[in-house]
Amino acid sequence: MTTTIDSILHEHRLFVPPQAFAAAARIKSRAELAALQHQADQDHEAFWAGLAQQEITWQRPFQSILDSSRAPHYAWFKDGLLNVSYNCLDRHLPERGEKTAIVFEGEQGDVQRLTYAELHREVCRFANTLKRLGITSGDRVVIYLPMIPEAVIAMQACARIGAIHSVVFGGFSADSLRDRIEDAGARMLITADGGHRGGKIVELKAAADKALAKGCPSIESVLVYRRTGHEIAMQDGRDVWWHEAIAKATAQCPPEWVGSEHPLFLLYTSGSTGKPKGIQHSSGGYLLGAITTMKWVFDIRDDDLFWCTADVGWITGHTYVAYGPLAVGATLLMYEGAPTVPDAGRFWDICARHKVSIFYTAPTAIRALMKLGDAFPTAHDLSSLRLLGTVGEPINPEAWMWYHRVIGHERCPIVDTWWQTETGCHMLAPIPGAVATKPGSCTLPLPGIVADVVDEQGNSITMPDQGGHLVIKKPWPSMLRTIWGDDARYVSTYWGKFDGKYYLAGDSARRDADGYFWIMGRADDVIKVSGHRLGTMEIESALVAHPRVAEAAVVGRPHDIKGEAIFAYVVLRGSRPVGGVDEALTRELRDWVGEQIGAIAKPDDIRYADNLPKTRSGKIMRRLLRTLASGQAITQDTSTLENEGILLQLQGKA
Ligand code: WT7
């Protein structure tokens, strides 16, 4: 019996760091990186302790580095006292008070700039308001806002007074909002009358009202930011306008010093069961991870304009919008709306007008924009860009090459960053001045991150290109601390498989002969065909490499003879075949995959749709596809689908 996943897709292109980039980078060569790696390997704890002393301003220094007495509930720097908001704002004021902290652009084109001094003032005023409304250290505050500076202000204000925020993505429904408020036991909800997205108003307050009408007894007050100015209902005694509440608040608000392990935030994420997990992050360790990766992976500089397109409702928007860029005193850009308003050139227009130098987005966005053609990016001056990044899912080599060529003009390194809500910050990623990249690989573990690929028994897989479980073998500072209210689930989900020894990421991965990591998809997306285990992502990557294919999702379906058969859902560039049938193309694609990977990976079925079913965060709803592929009735919640109309196409009924 094979216990490893057969890896059958190979990518041989190698892109060395451009000389001009490497010469100016913080880490300039593989040798410099090796020296850092060596320090970390020699003494894992001393390595992280040194960085924690250097990068964080502590109110009281720590003595304890790593406490493993309650493993796997590890504690880092636990007797140290700090405040995350102080580290993001106050400490920059002497040198950077007049420097722009946030450049904001609304979907309708409104632009706003906040200096560090202004942001500090707004955070202090809002923190005082939270206190006046009864919020104290350790209280949970749910934030349900659009992508506007006030989202960052609210998060930073919570951090300032030791309140634990839980940001809920504005695209989530009232029911999801209610579940998260109730699980967290939040006392306050911060929302807005609405936000602008895709030319429409996102009715946040209406959804919030609906959530609160159905439960949420712990909520005492609702703060409402006026963004759109359209009519909404305000409930007397519960709802307060943000601008009225802060009117009398002063800008003096000394930070609340908290222990390093004090929870900074909860962020709910989906697991293999239906109930979302409240991933709990710490203060000191989390902040350290945000800072080190801003410096190592993004090579951030004082004159950079850093744009991470992620919504603050996701971990990427926490670490690389609300905390990381501010902790290092950088200037960040925030955009409220959709990438296609008024047209598919919006991202490139923003990059050109504001002179964005570092651009970080998701493969799904890259592929979507690629599909719309080169004319949009080519119409804009992208010469300010110096570094590109991707996150969230494996990037197929074709999209990587497009990003490299059409957006980066073959001048910008691409950092493909692997990490998770649970890991807090980048784990596997190239250091752009030092590590040569390969399209589709997130390359190597960062210093101080001990990653490995292991088999079912937990043994390291040393043979190149053999897939296995991606694990992290030593605790790291920015790791999750637990699942809110469910320590047992934390232990079983992440530490159960290998008896508490290794953190189980839940992804399958392989390492090539150079030691580069290739993420093959979630371990639960592995399919087994005639005894061969195949990563679904690899088949997808092959499909999208075909000139006619824009996107593809592959799942397994039960098959009498082979165990599982491969079912592919395909979105074409251009229009979908009439009635969803094109036998010639289906044959061509099967042969194409056979050629790219091998006959074993040829999809048994190919079904064409106008779109793939995605959650609002852009993740493909694989469980739904598996249900459809096996011909079963839909049991999943499809209310978060961007386009419910595609269901019939996916079922082969339209
Ligand atoms: C899962 C975590 C971390 C920010 C966004 C997603 C997949 C993430 C990559 C990458 C291949 C990736 C993994 C991981 N993933 N980054 N660079 N290459 N896969 O956070 O929602 O917690 O999802 O996203 O499967 O486990 P998340």
Portion of the chain with pLDDT greater than 70, in percent: 95
pLDDT for res 554: 93
What does the alpha-carbon distance between residue 385 and residue 375 come to, in Å, rounded to a whole number?
Answer: 18
Q: Do the beta carbons of residue 514 and residue 443 sit within 8 Å?
A: no
Q: What is the pLDDT of residues 407-457, one digit of tens each?
A: 999 999 999 999 999 999 999 999 999 999 999 999 999 999 999 999 999
Tell whether ligand 1 has an atom less than 6 A from the beta carbon of residue 315: yes
What does the alpha-carbon distance between residue 413 and residue 436 come to, in Å, rounded to a whole number?
Answer: 9
Pocket mutation for ligand 1, best pick of 360, 483, 519 (most atoms within 8 Å of C-beta): 519
Nearest protein CA to atom 19 of ligand 1, as residue: 393
Alpha carbon of 505 to ligand 1 centroid (Å): 10
Which string of b and e fits 106-124 if b means at least 16 CB within 10 Å? bbeeeeeebbbbbbbbbbb
What does the alpha-carbon distance between residue 220 and residue 498 come to, in Å, rounded to a whole number?
Answer: 43
Q: Give the model's confidence band at 4: pLDDT under 50 very low, under 70 low, under 90 confident, else very high.
A: very low
Q: What is the pLDDT of residues 384-421, one digit of tens each?
A: 999 999 998 888 899 999 999 999 999 999 999 999 99
- Give the mean model confidence (pLDDT) for residues 260-278: 81
Query: Among residues 221, 225, 285, which one has the least CA distance to residue 259?
Result: 285
Alpha carbon of 346 to ligand 1 centroid (Å): 25
Q: Give the model's confidence band at 537: pLDDT under 50 very low, under 70 low, under 90 confident, else very high.
A: confident
Tell whether ligand 1 has an atom less than 6 A from the beta carbon of residue 417: yes
Tell whether ligand 1 has an atom less than 6 A from the beta carbon of residue 505: yes
pLDDT for res 563: 65
Tell whether ligand 1 has an atom less than 6 A from the beta carbon of residue 317: no
pLDDT for res 614: 87
What does the alpha-carbon distance between residue 568 and residue 554 come to, in Å, rounded to a whole number?
Answer: 4
pLDDT for res 532: 66
Q: Give the three-class secondary structure for 488.
A: helix
Q: Which residue would you say has higher pLDDT here, 157 or 6?
A: 157
What's the whole-model pTM score?
0.85
Tell whether ligand 1 has an atom less than 6 A from the beta carbon of residue 522: yes
Pocket mutation for ligand 1, best pick of 293, 297, 418 (most atoms within 8 Å of C-beta): 418
Q: Give the model's confidence band at 528: pLDDT under 50 very low, under 70 low, under 90 confident, else very high.
A: low
Q: What's the mean pLDDT when you consider all of the chain? A: 93
Q: Do the beta carbons of residue 549 and residue 560 sit within 8 Å?
A: no
pLDDT over threshold 50, residue 262: yes
Q: In the structure encoding, which two tokens stand for residue 115, read together?
A: 């200096």
Q: Do the beta carbons of residue 107 and residue 201 sit within 8 Å?
A: no
What does the alpha-carbon distance between residue 181 and residue 341 come to, in Å, rounded to a whole number?
Answer: 32
Q: Which of 285-299, 552-566, 634-648 has the lowest mean pLDDT?
A: 634-648
Q: Give the model's confidence band at 646: pLDDT under 50 very low, under 70 low, under 90 confident, else very high.
A: confident
Q: What is the pLDDT of residues 191-213, one digit of tens each?
A: 999 999 999 999 999 999 999 99
Portion of the chain with pLDDT greater than 90, in percent: 78
pLDDT for res 172: 75
pLDDT for res 2: 33
Cα–Cα–Cα angle for 227, 232, 238, rounded to 5 degrees: 95
Alpha carbon of 431 to ligand 1 centroid (Å): 18
Provide φ and ψ at 26, rounded to 5°.
-65, -45
Alpha carbon of 392 to ligand 1 centroid (Å): 4
Q: Which of 47-56, 236-245, 356-365 has the lowest mean pLDDT?
A: 356-365
| DSSP conformational letter for 614 | B
pLDDT over threshold 60, residue 8: no
H/E stretch holding 331 reads strand 331-335
Q: For ligand 1, what atom is nearest to the CA of residue 390?
A: 17
Q: What is the pLDDT of residues 600-635, one digit of tens each?
A: 788 999 999 999 998 877 888 888 999 999 988 888
- Give the mean model confidence (pLDDT) for residues 634-652: 81
Q: Which residue would you say has higher pLDDT here, 174 or 583?
A: 583
Q: Which residue would you say has higher pLDDT here, 379 or 635?
A: 379
Name beta bridge partners: 3. none
pLDDT over threshold 80, residue 526: no
